[in-house]
A = this chain, B = another copy of it.
Amino acid sequence: MNLILFLNDDLSKDGSLAEISGLRAKHIIEVHKAEIGKELTAGLLNGNIGKCKVNKIGTNYVNFELGNFNTPPPPALPLTLIISLPRPKTLKKVVHIASCMGVKKIYFIESWKVDKSYWKSPVLNNNELTEQCILGLEQAKDTVLPEILFRRRFKPFAEDELNQIITGTTPLAAHPYKALPCPERINSPVTLAVGPEGGFTDYEVKTFKELGFSVITLGERILRVEYAVCSLLSKIFK
């Protein structure tokens, strides 16, 4: 945690104080070694960054006095990420690294090789993904939550939505076979589709190609999905 992200519920009515409790408080007490008077970097959810001062420490909470929050968060990546729903543990890691790196819109989609049981994971319906987003933002000193969307059927998504999503962007589909090397430093809006372990099917690749996607690869070494996302974004953006 390189920044404490205050959620709306953490703030006092006049916005001059904030209080956090539970695990987040524990982390600030134990890892940040919070002491009364210590100044820490903080951000307001979807807002600016500034400083706060530790005001009071309880057994299970920390209270802060807020300074001015005048610094805007770092720029977002101009990227829409479309990714085949990975296993729940990997899903959380993907959300973490995407949040860290500044992605603000993620579609998790069905594709043929996605294990159907993943759609039943409780992770999709509880607060765990929002928590991962917050951890990612606190790690990277950002404040703006990404939007996470789920699309349970590939064909309607591809036919009805994808054309609109890629308008004005460079559309890329990462797939390990018959692909071009990942382009570097595009630095303009990109739509990036990432397949499941085992890759997209031929039909799915054909669908992406017909919509104008270039099929790209990181090379012969196959990385776990969370690292593939990290590596692709590191190459595509400066």
Query: B-contacting residues of A (Cβ < 8 Å)?
Result: 2, 74, 97, 100-102, 139-142, 181, 184-185, 218-224, 227, 230-235, 238
Further 6 A-B residue pairs, CB within 8 A, beyond A2-B222, A97-B223: A74-B220, A74-B221, A184-B238, A227-B227, A231-B231, A231-B234
Min CB gap A171→B, angstroms:
21
Which 3 A/B pairs are nearest by Cβ-Cβ distance? A234-B234, A140-B221, A231-B234
User: Once bound together, how far apart are the Cα atoms of A232 and B230, in whole Å?
Assistant: 10
- Cross-chain contact A227 with B102 (CB below 8 angstroms): no
- Cross-chain contact B235 with A139 (CB below 8 angstroms): no
Number of copies: 2
- Cross-chain contact B227 with A141 (CB below 8 angstroms): no
- Cross-chain contact B184 with A222 (CB below 8 angstroms): no
- Cross-chain contact B223 with A140 (CB below 8 angstroms): yes
* Other-chain contact of A221, B141, B184, B220, B232 (Cβ < 8 Å): B141
Task: Please name 5 pairs of A and B residues whose Cβ atoms are closer than 8 Å in the assembled complex, sorted by A.
Answer: A2-B222, A74-B219, A74-B220, A97-B227, A141-B222
- Cross-chain contact B184 with A223 (CB below 8 angstroms): no
Name the B residues within 8 Å of A219 (CB-CB): 74
User: Once bound together, how far apart are the Cα atoms of A234 and B227, in whole Å?
Assistant: 10
Name the B residues within 8 Å of A142 (CB-CB): 221
Min CB gap A105→B, angstroms:
17
A224 — nearest CB in chain B belongs to which residue?
B139
User: Once bound together, how far apart are the Cα atoms of A184 and B219, in whole Å?
Assistant: 17
A176 — nearest CB in chain B belongs to which residue?
B2
User: Once bound together, how far apart are the Cα atoms of A97 and B97, in whole Å?
Assistant: 14
* Other-chain contact of A227, B100, B184, B218, B220 (Cβ < 8 Å): B100
